[in-house]
Amino acid sequence: MSQVPSESVSEPASGHAGAVAAPAHTSSNTAAARFAPRTRTAFDQFVAAYAVVLILSNIGATKGIEIGPIVTDGGFFLFPIAYVLGDVVSEVWGFRAARRAIITSFAAALFASICFWIIIALPSASFYEGQEAFVQVLGPVPLIVAGSLLGFLVGQLLNAWVLVKVKEKTREKHLWARLISSTLVGQFVDTLIFCAVAAPIIGIQTFGQFLNYVIVGYVWKCLVEVLVIPVTYAVVARLKKTEPYWDGERPEVTA
C-alpha cells in the first residue's frame, strides 16, 4: 500500500470536513517595508540651519536700524551666523558640500520670497485689517532676496573657496588663519553687493549713509566671526570626531 505524503492532506483545525488549512506565509508576505538608507551625518542639520538663518536675515533686512551713528538693518545679528555655518561646512565637508548647502539655502529663500509675493497678491478677507502693514514689511523681501542671492552666492562661494585653498596649504593647522582670511574676502564682496540693492529699500538715500551701511556691515560681520572663533573651533573639532572623516587617523584641530 502506498503511503500518502503527509503534506498533501491537512487536518482541519475546526473539525469540519472539507476544510482546507490556510497556506503558510511566504517570504513576499513577510518582507519588511524597504527604505533608502541614510548615513549618519550632521550635514543636513547644517543645511537646514543655513536656510533658516538666510530666510530670517532677508526678512529682518527690510527694517532699517539706526543706533547712534551706526546705520544697519534688522538682520545684522543673524547674517554673520550664516558665514560661521559656511566656514564649518567648508572645513569639515569641503567645497562641493558648501556649494550644495549654499544653493539649497538660496532655493529655500527664493521659495519663501515667492510665497510672500503670492500671499500679498491674494485678496484680503473683509475682516482683515493688516494688509498694508503686511505689504510694508514683507513686500520688499523679493528685492532684498535678489540682492542677497547675488551677494551671498558670490560671497559664500568665495569664502568657501578661499578657506579650502588655504587648508590645502596649512592642512589641519592654523584654522584661525583660514577662518579669518576667507571671511575678509567673502564678506567684503557679499556686503558690497547686498548693500547696493538693500540700501534704497530700507530708506538709505545719501552716499554717506550708504558708505556707513557698507562699512558698519562689513566690520560687524568680520568682528562677529573673529569673536566666535573659539566656538567654531569646538564645533569643528567635535564634527571631525563624529563624522566620517578620512579612513585613517582622525586629525586634531590645532591653532
pLDDT tens per residue, range 102-132: 999 988 988 888 898 899 999 999 999 999 9
What rounded mean pLDDT belongs to the chain? 81
pTM above 0.75, yes or no: no
Nearest to 255 by CA among 186, 179, 160: 179
pLDDT tens per residue, range 132-158: 988 888 877 777 778 877 888 899 899
Q: Residue 89 pLDDT > 90, yes or no? A: yes
pLDDT tens per residue, range 10-55: 444 444 444 445 555 555 556 778 877 777 788 999 999 999 998 8
Percent of the chain with pLDDT over 70: 82
How much is the average pLDDT of 67-94? Answer: 86
Buried b (16+ CB within 10 A) or exposed e, 37-58: eeeeebbeebbebbbbbbbbbb
pLDDT of res. 110: 85
pLDDT of res. 49: 94
Separation of alpha carbons 186 and 221, rounded Å: 11
pLDDT tens per residue, range 177-197: 999 999 999 989 988 998 888
55's CB contacts (< 8 A; 6+ apart) are 108, 109, 112
